[in-house]
Amino acid sequence: KQEVTQIPAALSVPEGENLVLNCSFTDSAIYNLQWFRQDPGKGLTSLLLIQSSQREQTSGRLNASLDKSSGRSTLYIAASQPGDSATYLCAVWVKGGKLIFGQGTELSVKP
Amino acid sequence: EAGVAQSPRYKIIEKRQSVAFWCNPISGHATLYWYQQILGQGPKLLIQFQNNGVVDDSQLPKDRFSAERLKGVDSTLKIQPAKLEDSAVYLCASSQKGLAGDNEQFFGPGTRLTVL
């Protein structure tokens, strides 16, 4: 059974810092891995989707990496801003088009 | 392009009452998903439709939850009767295909349910 774990559960950093969010999964038989952002009271916004054959994806200040063999992914946020404050969710795609989510990391960026 | 629409946005009910949620997916998307997200946890898949057929409902508490997707477009999720532990955000998502695991899911804003 696929399980996804995110560490840390919460993180508070001063504005301008670079930071890394971690995601691990137990079964390497995944199609893709996706990072989402969730603002309070809102739905999920897709940030980055990494195909299983890829090692990383970049979008602006965000960079996500994937190491299938070790069951790990990281989301790197450069030069953090208060507007980055949100919950970040990692999810893996498994057979049948299902997404299995981690519990999320709640990020707070202080001005 | 319009996103996934859900209503209502918020609902407060007493335990043992019934409640229904509605979802309108992105036009042309064949696959529709309902997720339950309890506070502090990630979303958990309840049911997945491909057009108007059920693909996966293994985590749907069928004694109290039901869902349908008439004509392969809109979908409703019903809880009858509700329990305190059903308090959560119910998220609807859609994707163009979905089964091959290579199609991005787009999420609606969710319905926040509080059961008193």
Cβ contact, residue pair A102, B103, below 8 Å: no
pLDDT at B62 (0 to 100): 94
Contact B32, B25 (CB under 8 A): yes
Q: Is A69 exposed, middle or buried (0-12, 13-18, 19+ CB in 10 A)?
A: exposed
Average pLDDT over residues A3-15: 95
Mean pLDDT of chain B, nearest integer: 92
pLDDT at B101 (0 to 100): 53
A40 pLDDT band (50/70/90 cuts)? confident
- Whether the CB of A57 is below 8 Å from some CB of chain B: the reply is no
Residues whose CB falls within 8 Å of the CB of residue A70, separated by 6 or more in sequence, listed in order? none
- Chain B residues whose beta carbon lies within 8 Å of the beta carbon of residue A36: 107
* Beta bridge partners of residue B10, listed in sequence order: B112
Higher pLDDT, B2 or A30: A30
Comparing CB atoms, the residue among B4, B41, B104 nearest residue A103 is: B41
| % chain A with pLDDT above 90 | 80
